[in-house]
Amino acid sequence: MLKVCIVGAGAIGGLMAAAFARAGHAVTLIARGAHLAALQARGLTVERVDGRVEHHALPAADDPAGLGPQDAVVVALKAYSVAAMLPRLAGLLRDDTAVVTALNGLPWWYFYRVDGPLRDQPIRCLDPDGSMARSLDAGHIIGCVVHVSGEVVAPGIIRHTSGRRYLLGELDGRDSPRLRAICAAMNAGGCAAEATARIRQAVWTKLIGNLSFNPVAALTLARMDEINGNPALIDIIRTMMEEGMRVAAHYGEPVEMSVEERLKVARSLGTAKISMHQDLERGRPLEIDAIVGSVVELAHRAGLATPAIQAIHALIAARARHAGGATG
């Protein structure tokens, strides 16, 4: 039995928590506000894709301090909330504890443990002062790319809307007992978790869609089916994908999917409102730096022209400022 702490028990964190609990592991949730109060009072409720509803009575708190060492810590926060949380994880960690980062966009650890001259270099818009690198030793980190969607429909209640696939990988590409154990635990709970030796390539494959569709959705407040049905918007998205793929290839992680194949994946989301659209409507900060700004930064470092991405980045950053939200 694994001891697992889910830091950020929102839609994705909650679904991962339910999977670990379903498989018989000891799960603790970290949440806040009304969602935390509901988790403490009534437990976690998950509305599954097949219509089943399940309830999990799991301990929940707003602070990981005092929970003791864990076998795995899942960080499923919005990217802009991670920096403040990392120092608070210290009490959860043994030398061999895995910290699974289930995040959108490029992660702050992107260049950790890569071979070559960029090894351990920060992405400045994500970790400008290096505090994230200092707060958590890279040896703890397992990257996680989530191909699952869900929504917190009410405090304590999560609706799983699509997907089961998670890609997990050690930063140095090695196979490891802890990686195999976490994938096995998730799969026993109904996930489709796969270990990969190319976690950064997995990041880029998802990011190519996110960096284009997410800001366009937030700027237009259009659902995915409305965007996919608008040829003018798809032309912009296609151009952004092509630019992003050139950046990925420059850094040694070519996306092994064509633009048209990636657009087909996006069409499978039907009428969904994707994350940045939801966040803007609900007055939340937008994950602009992780999803778009980081790609602009890496393109600039490489001397690559990305005019469409830069233009959309400027527009969505201005939109967030006008709405009073952060651009982190």
Length of the chain: 328
Q: Residue 137 gets which letter from DSSP?
A: -
Bridge pairing between strands 53-56 and 157-170: unpaired
Both structure tokens of 80: 């802009």
Say whether 273 is catalytic. no
Per the CB < 8 A criterion, the answer to whether 204 and 255 are in contact is yes
Element spanning 123, H or E: none
Long-range contacts, stretch 96-99, CB < 8 angstroms, 24+ apart: 96/178, 97/69, 97/70, 97/71, 97/72, 97/73, 97/140, 98/71, 98/72, 98/73, 98/140, 98/141, 98/142, 98/178, 98/179, 98/182, 99/72, 99/73, 99/75, 99/136, 99/140, 99/141, 99/142
Choosing from 3, 78, 206, 273, the catalytic residue is: 206
Name the percent of the chain in helix, strand, coil, to the closest 5.
Answer: 45, 20, 35
Both structure tokens of 72: 């795995």
Active site residues: 206
